[in-house]
Amino acid sequence: MLRGMKRALLFVVVLAGCPPPATGPNGPQPVETEVGCPAASAVYIASYLSAAADGKGHTGWVLPVRDDKVETVTGMAEFEEITPGGAQVLEVPKLPVWIVQPGLPPCRATLGKPYRAAIDIPSAANLSYGVELDGCPPPADQEEDEAVVVESQASPGQCQIQTPHPIATRLGDVDPKRQWTRPTKQTPIPPSVSALVPAHTCSAPGCETLWSFTQVDVAAAPVAWSGAVNWMQISGDVPAGADVVCKWPIETYSGFFVPGPGGTATKVDAGQDHPLALTAVLADHTGAKVLIADGAGEYATYDLSPAGAALARHVVWLLADASAYGVDDRVGPVCEPAGAGGAAPAPPAAGVRPALQPNTTPAHP
């Protein structure tokens, strides 16, 4: 089954032009020249799959490109190669593609056979289509299962991946007795972003405003922000246990933002049928070039300029269950299903979360 419901970005595929040939004593000679970042329309995300213990499925990199919703996948193979003639509708790179892993030089991959994967999700059965990517090693970190793929005649060695880092938080704590306590410290949301957060009436003791934000820097300047604000309605005494806290309703506001004209922040909404999380920015010696955002079974790439972020590519390659969307915007006490590890619990009511966990991860990592 396809993996990658939460994407941890590792790779970039970049589209770039050919470098000019060098001139030698015997005429033009080929030159191995690294190039910078391409336009966002040439950037993709790949997934790494592992076959099941019985050998069924596929092991290796794949480039998912689209998805079809179907009534059922009963009787279909979980993963199967299909004939090229049946894949003519697939949009795949036309130039050589490269996979780049941190600490390793870009690896030129070969477009392999097209495939179809059956995704058996209750109320959302679907078929995911793509092409295999051959010739590159698996992720250096086994916990990572995604990559950026770059379409390019030359190695995109000058295109660097810049990832978000935490800059602002206000979160409560969970003590050893699993009691949630109110926040005791905070770092403020950047003013350029806080101006976009909707006004909300929320004051202690009946309400707590919580937040978590990250930022991407290029050349020591911010080029993107991401995060969430939660307004948590509190009933009863604090500290409180999971049986109480996980019933408190929470309203949320989240998204990712880029500097716009005049340096003011602008929220990026294009290409988001469901909320996406800021994953990385691609940059070279000319500055920030491409923003990448992804979510459950989909991603989007944007060209960056002083005018803001312009959507270039939006790919939905897997339809997830409705519960998989929007989970990144909760930064309050994180609850997990009470039946984890056993029978699946009944779905919680809207706005109610079922079991308490410490929250140490910023929203939209």
Residue 30 has pLDDT above 70, yes or no: no
- 267-299 pLDDT, tens digit per residue, is 999 988 888 999 999 999 999 999 999 988 899
| Banded model confidence at residue 28, pLDDT cuts 50, 70, 90 | very low
| Banded model confidence at residue 232, pLDDT cuts 50, 70, 90 | very high
Residue 55 has pLDDT above 70, yes or no: yes
Residue 251 has pLDDT above 80, yes or no: yes
The stretch 43-68 carries a mean pLDDT of 90
The stretch 26-50 carries a mean pLDDT of 80
From the list 99, 15, 42, the residue with the least C-alpha distance to 312 is 42
SS3 222: strand
Residue 314 has pLDDT above 80, yes or no: yes
- 129-185 pLDDT, tens digit per residue, is 999 999 999 988 878 889 899 999 999 999 999 999 999 999 988 888 888 999 999
For residue 336, what pLDDT is reported?
64
The stretch 37-66 carries a mean pLDDT of 91
| Banded model confidence at residue 327, pLDDT cuts 50, 70, 90 | low
Residue 100 has pLDDT above 90, yes or no: no
Contact 188, 246 (CB under 8 A): no
From the list 104, 105, 99, the residue with the least C-alpha distance to 133 is 99
Alpha-carbon span 259 to 224, nearest angstrom: 7
For the chain, what percent of residues have pLDDT higher than 90? 51
For residue 305, what pLDDT is reported?
93
Alpha-carbon span 358 to 9, nearest angstrom: 24
Alpha-carbon span 147 to 61, nearest angstrom: 9
User: Please, which residues have CB within 8 angstroms of residue 211's CB and are 6 or more apart in sequence?
Assistant: 168, 169, 170, 189, 227, 228, 229, 230, 331
Q: Is the pTM of this model over 0.85?
A: no
Contact 181, 313 (CB under 8 A): no
For residue 39, what pLDDT is reported?
95
For residue 5, what pLDDT is reported?
35
Alpha-carbon span 271 to 311, nearest angstrom: 7
For residue 326, what pLDDT is reported?
60
Residue 60 has pLDDT above 60, yes or no: yes
SS3 198: coil
Paired tokens of 4: 């990658």
Distance of CA 354 to the CA centre of its chain: 25
For the chain, what percent of residues have pLDDT higher than 70? 80
- 329-347 pLDDT, tens digit per residue, is 788 776 765 444 433 333 3
DSSP class of residue 54? T
* DSSP string over 310-327: EEEEEEE--PPPGGGTTG
Question: Judging by DSSP bridges, how do beta strands 180-181 and 173-174 pair with one another?
Answer: antiparallel
User: What's the one-letter identity of residue 196?
Assistant: L
| Banded model confidence at residue 51, pLDDT cuts 50, 70, 90 | confident
Domain ranges in the chain are 22-158, 162-296+327-357
- 184-230 pLDDT, tens digit per residue, is 999 999 999 999 999 999 999 999 999 999 999 999 999 999 999 99
Cα Rg, the chain, nearest whole Å: 22
For residue 32, what pLDDT is reported?
58
What does pLDDT average to over the chain? Answer: 81
Residue 19 has pLDDT above 70, yes or no: no
The stretch 224-240 carries a mean pLDDT of 93
Q: For residue 227, give Cα distances in angstroms to 160, 210, 329.
A: 23, 11, 7
